[in-house]
Amino acid sequence: MEKQTVTIYDVAREAAVSMATVSRVVNGNPNVKPATRKKVLEVIDRLDYRPNAVARGLASKKTTTVGVIIPDVTNAYFSSLARGIDDIAMMYKYNIILTNSDENGGKEVQVLNTLMAKQVDGIIFMGNQVTDELREEFKRSKAPVVLAGSVDAEKAQPSVNIDYVAAVAEAVKNLIDHGNQKIAFVSGPMDQAINHDYRLKGYKKALKDAGISYDDKLVFETDYTYKAGQSLEPALTAAGATAAFVGDDELAAGVMNGLTDAGVDVPGEFEVITSNDTKLTELVRPKMSSITQPLYDIGAVAMRLLTKLMNNETVDENTVILPYGLMKRSSTK
Amino acid sequence: MEKQTVTIYDVAREAAVSMATVSRVVNGNPNVKPATRKKVLEVIDRLDYRPNAVARGLASKKTTTVGVIIPDVTNAYFSSLARGIDDIAMMYKYNIILTNSDENGGKEVQVLNTLMAKQVDGIIFMGNQVTDELREEFKRSKAPVVLAGSVDAEKAQPSVNIDYVAAVAEAVKNLIDHGNQKIAFVSGPMDQAINHDYRLKGYKKALKDAGISYDDKLVFETDYTYKAGQSLEPALTAAGATAAFVGDDELAAGVMNGLTDAGVDVPGEFEVITSNDTKLTELVRPKMSSITQPLYDIGAVAMRLLTKLMNNETVDENTVILPYGLMKRSSTK
DNA sequence: CGCAACATTGAAAACGCTTTCAAGTCAAAG
DNA sequence: CTTTGACTTGAAAGCGTTTTCAATGTTGCG
């Protein structure tokens, strides 16, 4: 009843050659006489032979699949990177094992281990924080690991990012240039390196450059959800803020809509600038000004870098920094 | 230089037992004397032995990974399903190989083949159209295939969906009840079954039930993008439509924003109702009324169904229909 | 025509694990 | 003290490829 699978052995027999020869033609090895190649190809076609990738993986120690750890596919920022990753992966004949981590350290470690057990040829990690434990796991992995749109303070792993500090500083400076003195810093969990080591640093830098003193009452730490942003309005108003830099687009949309719904005019009375330049920025009204990041490219470049690493090619620069920009839309003056 | 991998053989030697026994303890086989189990476990821990899933897959003919074909991870509707799929997959110890198809038939077939080559234990397909060729491939697959949020007119494959015809009919009826006579039907490519065989059918049904005659000048076929929706305004106005049913949220956001930007008041002068109830509906202003679908659950249930199929359990119903609803927000009266 | 050099091929050993089957162990039962 | 049946264990045969190494065929040239 079970469908019979045809193996390389069957092909060899039918074509009256050895398995080695069949293997050669399947893998495009040039050391095969054209006539034999043709004969084998015909049999392969006739028998509808499909090489078993698992067996191939065991024998060759290469699985042509890479693991991708993503906080949440549902998040526009990360799914954009994921798309870039998958496209390039496909281009280089790799497949992607995608797993959501919810940025949960324990889950990340566990997932990483199952990926390694599955003998992936490489790993791309996305997440706002690289814990010590995770870093250790990365080190013992024999498959190369590259971080995409994710920072590691230790810079131990190859990665591709933008210059978050500079980008945020520029965004905040923009707000300052518009005359704002009390600028809120709204971000996700402050225990994530991306927030406290990069974004906050850029925020402080901009303030300092402008001679504005830092006030931690203007720092709002929440989780990355629309709702969280939406319910921030009272606090924002109470703190006397007239503008905000927000670390995530969905969160920013929440902040902005919360403000608007409460009757605060954006950007008239309150300016908002966000970080990720996902589609969302264009959908909301007013459209959100944002730091621009080459989302797709961050993923694509990360994957490309990974292919080089997997191929043992020497790469000139392990940590690549892509250019960012500032896109003025309608949530700032 | 290359890190040495420790195999089941090493463990067997160190623990002075056979590979079979090690295999048993690793797999939780109860037929092992507690004392031996303990001894083996200690060695495993000491050597930091990690079973090689590829070898395991070859020997057992099970890879504990399932293939997932998705039009585009970047699309909120499908990424929500994907999240549901992955969560349940993880719960059942499966991993997901995720590949974007762009709804391109050729790519879908190709991807399906590489998935099968990788010996996935099952496949979940998402896409708005199942071509004949694809259907053939599904049939020859020895791994079970289930469709998630995707229809196949032939109903040849197990699937989980909502009742699109009824849902759309109800949405359109709602528009009719508000006094609209000229209701636009805005959808993606009409050659996709989901559009012409389901949504359009529901649309026509609602019209018919209300005694309104069908006018194909009110049917707008575009692609599923925000921009496409946005640029539809002139045509919509020209056709004299006062309301629209839209088949995709991002597209709907475009339609609505295009209207608003052109000075048309939504919902005052023009009502819009959309289909997928993704996060987007809450982000835009006015918030969009929508058919509600249990997105996450569609994915989750599909994956659960797949686990049963992979396990050869008998399932009572191959095609499961989940409940839908109608959520009135602010883009309808 | 003989030989070196190169092109083709096949045999068989991995790859790391699961699984079948037979054998060995041991305690309870007779 | 044997027998029986339930437990435990190990040997070895796969699983479907890749890959090494040696063998065999060919071709070009002096």
> pLDDT tens, A293-310?
999 999 999 999 999 999
Q: Strand, coil or helix: what is B244?
A: strand
Rounded distance in angstroms from the CA atom of residue A295 to the C1' atom of nucleotide D18 = 39
Which residue in chain B is spatially nearest to A251 when comparing CA positions?
Answer: B283
Task: Say whether B53 and A282 touch across the interface (CB within 8 A).
Answer: no
Task: Say whether B142 and A99 touch across the interface (CB within 8 A).
Answer: no
B80–A contact, CB cutoff 8 A: yes
How many cross-chain Cβ pairs, A to B, lie less than 8 Å apart?
Answer: 135
Strand partners, B89: none
Which residue in chain A is spatially nearest to B278 when comparing CA positions?
Answer: A74
- From chain B, the residues in CB contact with A283 under 8 A are 226, 250, 253, 257, 280, 283-284
Residues above pLDDT 90, as percent of chain A: 91
pLDDT tens track for A129-138? 999 999 999 9
Is residue B273 a contact partner of residue B289, using CB atoms and an 8 Å limit?
yes
B192–A contact, CB cutoff 8 A: no
In whole numbers, what is the pLDDT of chain A averaged over residues? 94
Is residue A287's pLDDT more than 90?
yes
Task: Say whether A283 and B285 touch across the interface (CB within 8 A).
Answer: no
pLDDT tens track for B82-101? 999 999 999 999 999 999 99
- From chain A, the residues in CB contact with B55 under 8 A are 58
Is residue B154's pLDDT more than 90?
no
A26-51 mean pLDDT:
93
Min Cα–Cα distance to chain B from A212, Å: 33
Is residue A2's pLDDT more than 60?
no
pLDDT tens track for A144-153? 999 999 998 7
B312-327 mean pLDDT:
93
Provide CB contacts within 8 A for A108, sequence distance 6+: A69, A101, A125, A127, A131, A134
Is residue B314's pLDDT more than 50?
yes
As a whole number of angstroms, the distance between CA B318 and CA B315 comes to 7
What would the DSSP string read from start to end of A107-171? HHHHHHHHHHHTT-SEEEE--S---HHHHHHHHH-SS-EEEES---TT--S-EEEE-HHHHHHHH
Provide CB contacts within 8 A for B136, sequence distance 6+: none
Task: Say whether A83 and B100 touch across the interface (CB within 8 A).
Answer: yes
- Binned at pLDDT 50, 70 and 90, residue B284 comes out as very high
B243-247 mean pLDDT:
97
A110–B contact, CB cutoff 8 A: no
Q: Which residues 286-325 of chain B have a CB within 8 Å of chain A?
A: none
As a whole number of angstroms, the distance between CA B155 and CA B135 comes to 10
Return the higher-pLDDT residue of A242 and A317.
A242
Q: Which nucleotide is at minimal CA–C1' distance from A32?
A: C8
Q: Which of B91, B147, B142 is nearest to B119 (CA)?
A: B142
A308: buried, middle or exposed (CB in 10 Å: 19+, 13-18, 0-12)? middle
A259-272 mean pLDDT:
95
Task: Say whether A100 and B87 touch across the interface (CB within 8 A).
Answer: yes
Distance of CA A56 to the CA centre of its chain: 29
B98–A contact, CB cutoff 8 A: yes
pLDDT tens track for A220-233? 999 999 999 999 99
Rounded distance in angstroms from the CA atom of residue A52 to the C1' atom of nucleotide D26 = 35
Its pTM stands at 0.94
Q: Which residues 112-171 of chain A have a CB within 8 Å of chain B?
A: 113-119, 140, 142
Is residue B291's pLDDT more than 70?
yes
pLDDT tens track for A182-221? 999 999 999 999 999 999 999 999 999 999 999 999 999 9
- Binned at pLDDT 50, 70 and 90, residue A156 comes out as confident
Give the pLDDT confidence score for residue A154 in this predicted structure.
Answer: 80
As a whole number of angstroms, the distance between CA B147 and CA B167 comes to 19
Give the pLDDT confidence score for residue B194 in this predicted structure.
Answer: 94
As a whole number of angstroms, the distance between CA A275 and CA A249 comes to 6
Q: Which residues 17-46 of chain B have a CB within 8 Å of chain A?
A: none
Positive or negative torsion for Cα A60, A90, A84, B115: negative
B285–A contact, CB cutoff 8 A: yes
Distance of CA A185 to the CA centre of its chain: 23
Give the pLDDT confidence score for residue A307 in this predicted structure.
Answer: 97
Angle B292-A81-A232 from CA coordinates, rounded to 5°: 60
- Binned at pLDDT 50, 70 and 90, residue A37 comes out as very high
Give the pLDDT confidence score for residue A316 in this predicted structure.
Answer: 86
- Of A91-95, B123-127, B130-134, the one with minimum mean pLDDT is B130-134
Comparing CB atoms, the residue among A52, A117, A279 nearest residue B53 is A117
Is residue B58's pLDDT more than 70?
yes
Task: Say whether B86 and A100 touch across the interface (CB within 8 A).
Answer: yes
Give the pLDDT confidence score for residue B70 in this predicted structure.
Answer: 98
Min Cα–Cα distance to chain B from A192, Å: 23
Q: Sort strands A325-327 and A289-292 into parallel, antiparallel or unpaired.
A: antiparallel
The CA–CA distances, whole Å, from B210 to A75, B74, B174 equal 41, 38, 11
Min Cα–Cα distance to chain A from B244, Å: 18
Instruction: Report which secondary-structure segment, H or E, holds A321.
Output: strand A319-322
Task: Say whether B283 and A87 touch across the interface (CB within 8 A).
Answer: no
Comparing CB atoms, the residue among A58, A65, A87 nearest residue B97 is A65
B281-302 mean pLDDT:
96
What would the DSSP string read from start to end of B197-222? IIIHHHHHHHHHHTTPPP-GGGEEE-
Give the pLDDT confidence score for residue B1 in this predicted structure.
Answer: 39
- Binned at pLDDT 50, 70 and 90, residue B3 comes out as low
Instruction: Report which secondary-structure segment, H or E, holds A95.
Output: strand A95-100
As a whole number of angstroms, the distance between CA A53 and CA B119 comes to 7
pLDDT tens track for A54-70? 999 999 999 999 999 99
